[in-house]
A and B are shown apart, each in its own frame.
Chain A
Amino acid sequence: MRIPCPNCGDRDSREFHYRGSAELFHRPAGDAGQPAFVEYVYFRDNPAGRHRDLWLHETGCRSWIVVERDTATHEILSTALAADVARGAQ
């Protein structure tokens, strides 16, 4: 599996560290209460198909990258720098 890093181009997946779903971007506000944080920390949509993952390009540019991927086929649909995605979300 090769992952197109927005900075470095197509790279071997071994250069990346996987963190999990990009749902992790949506951290609740500090006063959101315990149930919201339990959902945030532990519960996942876990879809078969289109999924947005967080990968760290650990042995490359060390950027966090949002990878849109099909979990049923391993096809990579798009990638973007997590920093850009986070800025866009604000």
Chain B
Amino acid sequence: MRYSAWEVFRHGLTGNGGWKPVWRDPAPKPRYDVVIIGGGGHGLATAYYLARVHGIRNVAVLERSYIGGGNTGRNTTIVRSNYMLEGNMSFYSHSLRLWEGLEQELNYNVMFSQRGLVVLGHSDGQVEMLARRGTMSIMAGDDGELWSREECRRQMPYLNYDDPRFPIYGALMHRRGGTARHDAVVWGYARAADRLGVDIIQNCEVQGFRIENGKMVGVETSRGYIGAGKVGMTVAGRSGQVAAMAGFRLPIESQVLQAFVTEGLKPILPTVVAFGMGHFYISQSDKGGLVFGGDLDGYNSYAQRGNLPMMEHVAEAGMALMPMIGKAKMLRSWGGINDMTMDGSPIIDRSPVENFFVNCGWCYGGFKAIPGSGNVFAHLMATGNHHKAADKLLLNRFETGRLLDETGNGPSPNLH
């Protein structure tokens, strides 16, 4: 069924009893041309673009739990393209353009809202850096608008302008940035991929690989052996473990990042706001909750929950920036396992095992990358060549020295 205003109207008249499940629940076939491990946004997007763009429809997405239950459901849903290094800029720019056409392409409302993303500057030097970043974004074909302190005050009167430590000097507005509904992105890709013949197999955990003469031939799963022409891995925080099953290591540490949401409030925050000093960013969901997050807890973790010191730090940063949120009650918090690379940028590449491809290292920026990541990963798996928007996100850059280290912090994943 194609979704439309007419369908909503028609089903509304008949008690909404006619809606059907929009993807199948197939048993795994003995063999697929391509097996994707991980049914989050990245995996489902990869399967969709393999089928849609490259005509490869004999594809399975294996998910050990339920689709979208990992990091796709554990983030702050921010979409942006405001990077500074060639390689990252081209990739995120590509991804943002795909976001802009996504709902029409998938015929699914992912509630993509380009409400704008404001990054604040708290010193002359920082405002100059924002001007540079905005200029580079414009040169890369994206957008940037420098706001003075007065403009900030006019647009965002609720911020604390005269904090003695972090006064606000100006901001960079990224108009095309915003948020999207995380589950809808998963469901939209799942539905569209399923309609093109992709098998989405949930509760199917990959437990090992069958590798013959250095060549991937299939995966051992909790639901039996599945042969595969090619295998792609999109498992975020679990990348290190899946790679270990294939016999190699990655330049990745898995660390926990927490996020928080308040009770639902009336609309008070029209944009996404990022504090330029403490690591803090906040937006308001369409349901009304203030969604915000901060920095990594800073140690290796697979626990999907963080500790109280970071929660306190995030609350302090929020209060320094936006004192009005002190009245709101924090409703829930969650932790995602972030695949933190040694330079803070992702990896989309072949691997030491032939016919096995890796898509990992998204750090805490995986959500906004979903369409771009699926698109370029499908391109790599289908054609054997890197997409031009992602030809620098290589695994061997740690050996060649062509690192993509936006923050210049070196090989310390908890500082990126």
A residues with CB within 8 A of B: 1, 12-14, 18-21, 34-35, 38-39, 41-49, 51, 53, 71-74
Complex A-B, nearest 6 residue pairs according to Cβ-Cβ distance, in ascending order: A46-B240, A42-B251, A48-B302, A42-B398, A43-B249, A18-B299
User: In the complex the two chains form, is A38's CB within 8 Å of B252's CB?
Assistant: no
User: In the complex the two chains form, is A46's CB within 8 Å of B301's CB?
Assistant: no
User: In the complex the two chains form, is A42's CB within 8 Å of B411's CB?
Assistant: yes
B268 at the interface (CB under 8 A from A): no
User: In the complex the two chains form, is B253's CB within 8 Å of A18's CB?
Assistant: no
Closest to B240 in A: A46
In the bound assembly, the distance between CA atoms of A12 and B309 in angstroms comes to: 9
User: In the complex the two chains form, is B251's CB within 8 Å of A44's CB?
Assistant: yes
In the bound assembly, the distance between CA atoms of A42 and B413 in angstroms comes to: 10
In the bound assembly, the distance between CA atoms of A71 and B300 in angstroms comes to: 6
- Measured between C-beta atoms, what is the minimum distance from B325 to chain A in Å? 23
Closest to B239 in A: A46
B139 at the interface (CB under 8 A from A): no
Chain B, interface SS category: mixed
Contact of A71 with B307 at beta-carbon distance under 8 Å, contacts A38-B398, A42-B398, A44-B240 already known: no
In the bound assembly, the distance between CA atoms of A22 and B325 in angstroms comes to: 41
In the bound assembly, the distance between CA atoms of A43 and B251 in angstroms comes to: 4
In the bound assembly, the distance between CA atoms of A34 and B400 in angstroms comes to: 10
User: In the complex the two chains form, is B307's CB within 8 Å of A20's CB?
Assistant: no
In the bound assembly, the distance between CA atoms of A35 and B249 in angstroms comes to: 13
Closest to A55 in B: B299
Give the chain B neighbours of A49 by CB distance below 8 A. 302
Q: Which of the listed residues B250, B299, B414 has the most CB atoms from chain A within 10 Å of its own CB?
A: B299
In the bound assembly, the distance between CA atoms of A62 and B398 in angstroms comes to: 31
Instruction: List 12 other contacts, CB 8 Å, given A18-B414, A72-B302.
Output: A14-B309, A19-B412, A20-B253, A20-B300, A38-B399, A46-B240, A46-B253, A47-B240, A49-B302, A71-B301, A71-B302, A74-B301
In the bound assembly, the distance between CA atoms of A87 and B342 in angstroms comes to: 28
List CB contacts (< 8 Å) of B102-149 with chain A. Answer: none
- Measured between C-beta atoms, what is the minimum distance from A8 to chain B in Å? 18
B5 at the interface (CB under 8 A from A): no
- Measured between C-beta atoms, what is the minimum distance from A13 to chain B in Å? 7
B303 at the interface (CB under 8 A from A): yes
- Measured between C-beta atoms, what is the minimum distance from A34 to chain B in Å? 8
